[in-house]
């Protein structure tokens, strides 16, 4: 491409962006606002792809050196006014994509974003041979997934191809757990902790449960004082204060626990019957873990069998030693593994199970008629969207 061609392409792109920037969002209908957002983000994705390719050309040409810059990143920071992190991201992607043809093609076509590319680069570095063999499949998956979904999918892919490394990394994370509690000069106690994924999930779930109890008490108090006009700002404690009080409540309940009390048990679900589901190993909050991270729990866990008939049909939910109620709910949540609304990442432990065909209209309370929904999308489900302006 000649210099004149580059200048012409830049002029055309700038004209298109100026046309979009000249639109008055207040004059658009709701549908047009959605279309504008999707178009703007697609253009940003394509612009980022051009930035990556241009950074690669800058790197290989050495055109930055005669201007006195110390490196291509420094030149991008200087001439393009980028942050160091963004400039380094473009350059890193450009260098890695030289050996990732399918990924580069998908980026230039706008099928995936730079965020997707960064995740794919990390996966390639972990297992180069396996990535090269499966690059096309991974890129096609990335084109269908949001960034958070791709993170989880690649975590499973990495565990499958490098299981020993995954277990070693998990063990290193576990061994790095620590907690410090110190007293300041004015007798304020400062607590700082680092917990492994399993221990952290247990801690956060109980902390959030107690925090919710305290929030409900604060809300009831505000309504008693101010009536229906009460709002979040009228609560007597902030969220952080409730969390601090919840932590103290955890300690007080532990101290008051009678000797010989029954310890809480962990419930593990063993999925059987569908090959793609046999390798699922994650906590109820959606955190992907290795099998080795669950081994220490087996001595104090109940195992519940869940038999799948195909990728989305549970044909049997077994029982543990004591009668397990709510098998249908368990089947739906394990099948969906979170909120089923396409924009939502709420994990299964924070979801409700709702009827697809409303119960009031004769819908049955069966697995086929159930779906996992977070509270927001469950409440929103019955509402009729407003007409477009």
Q: Which domain holds residue 191?
A: 178-256
In this structure, what DSSP letter does residue 311 have?
A: T
In this structure, what DSSP letter does residue 342 have?
A: T
Q: Structural domain tally of the chain?
A: 3
Cα(387)–Cα(389) distance, integer angstroms: 6
User: Is 12 among the domain residues?
Assistant: no
**With the CA atoms of 69, 74, 76 and 81 taken in that order, what torsion angle do they form, in degrees rounded to the nearest 10?**
-110
Cα(366)–Cα(356) distance, integer angstroms: 10
- Whether residue 325 is predicted with pLDDT greater than 50 in this model: the reply is no
Residue 64 and residue 71 in contact, taking contact as beta carbons nearer than 8 Å: yes
User: What average pLDDT score do residues 12-19 get?
Assistant: 85
Question: Is residue 249 domain-shared with residue 289, that is, in the same domain?
Answer: no
Question: Is residue 232 domain-shared with residue 270, that is, in the same domain?
Answer: no
- Whether residue 267 is predicted with pLDDT greater than 80 in this model: the reply is no
- Whether residue 241 is predicted with pLDDT greater than 60 in this model: the reply is yes
Average pLDDT, the chain: 87
Question: Is residue 355 domain-shared with residue 276, that is, in the same domain?
Answer: yes
CA atoms within 13 A on the CB side of 52: 27
Question: Is residue 146 domain-shared with residue 186, that is, in the same domain?
Answer: no
User: Could you say which of 112, 144, 171 is where a domain stops?
Assistant: 171
Which band of pLDDT confidence, cut at 50, 70 and 90, is reported for residue 365? confident
User: Is 11 among the domain residues?
Assistant: no
**Closest CA relative to residue 372, chosen from 354, 358, 384:** 354
Question: Is residue 232 domain-shared with residue 295, that is, in the same domain?
Answer: no
**With the CA atoms of 36, 42, 46 and 49 taken in that order, what torsion angle do they form, in degrees rounded to the nearest 10?**
140
User: What average pLDDT score do residues 289-312 get?
Assistant: 77
- Whether residue 383 is predicted with pLDDT greater than 90 in this model: the reply is no
- Of 36-40, 72-76, 99-103, the poorest mean pLDDT is in 36-40
User: Could you say which of 256, 291, 308 is where a domain stops?
Assistant: 256
Q: What predicted TM-score, i.e. pTM, was given to this entire model?
A: 0.80
């Amino acid at each position: 491409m000649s210099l004149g061609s580059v200048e012409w392409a830049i002029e055309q792109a700038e004209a298109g962006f100026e046309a979009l920037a000249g639109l008055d969002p207040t004059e658009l209908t709701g549908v047009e606002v959605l279309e504008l957002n999707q178009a703007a983000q697609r253009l940003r994705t394509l612009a980022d792809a051009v930035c990556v390719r241009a950074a690669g050309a800058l790197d290989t040409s050495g055109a930055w050196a005669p201007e006195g810059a110390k490196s291509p990143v420094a030149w991008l920071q200087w001439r393009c006014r980028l942050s160091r992190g963004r400039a380094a991201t473009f350059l890193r992607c450009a260098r890695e994509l030289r050996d990732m043809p399918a990924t580069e093609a998908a980026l230039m076509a706008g099928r995936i974003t730079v965020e997707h590319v960064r995740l794919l680069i990390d996966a390639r570095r972990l297992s180069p041979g396996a990535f090269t063999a499966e690059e096309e499949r991974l890129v096609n998956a990335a084109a269908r997934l949001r960034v958070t979904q791709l993170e989880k999918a690649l975590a499973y892919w990495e565990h499958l191809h490098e299981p020993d490394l995954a277990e070693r990394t998990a063990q290193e994370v576990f061994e790095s757990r620590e907690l410090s509690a110190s007293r300041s000069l004015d007798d304020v106690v400062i607590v700082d902790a680092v917990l492994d994924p399993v221990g952290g999930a247990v801690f956060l779930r109980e902390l959030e449960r107690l925090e919710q109890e305290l929030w409900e008490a604060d809300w009831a108090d505000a309504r008693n004082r101010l009536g229906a006009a009460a709002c979040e700002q009228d609560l007597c404690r902030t969220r952080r204060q409730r969390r601090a009080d919840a932590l103290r409540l955890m300690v007080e309940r532990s101290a008051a626990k009678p000797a010989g009390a029954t310890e809480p048990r962990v419930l593990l679900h063993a999925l059987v019957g569908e090959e793609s589901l046999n390798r699922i190993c994650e906590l109820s909050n959606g955190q992907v873990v290795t099998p080795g991270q669950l081994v220490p729990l087996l001595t104090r866990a109940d195992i519940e069998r869940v038999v799948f008939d195909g990728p989305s049909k549970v044909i049997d939910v077994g029982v543990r030693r004591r009668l397990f109620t709510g098998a249908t709910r368990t089947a739906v949540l394990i099948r969906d593994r979170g909120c089923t609304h396409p924009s939502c990442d709420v994990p299964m432990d924070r979801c409700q199970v709702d009827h697809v065909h409303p119960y009031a209209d004769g819908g049955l309370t069966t697995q086929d008629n159930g779906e996992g929904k977070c509270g927001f999308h469950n409440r929103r489900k019955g509402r009729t969207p407003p007409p477009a302006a």
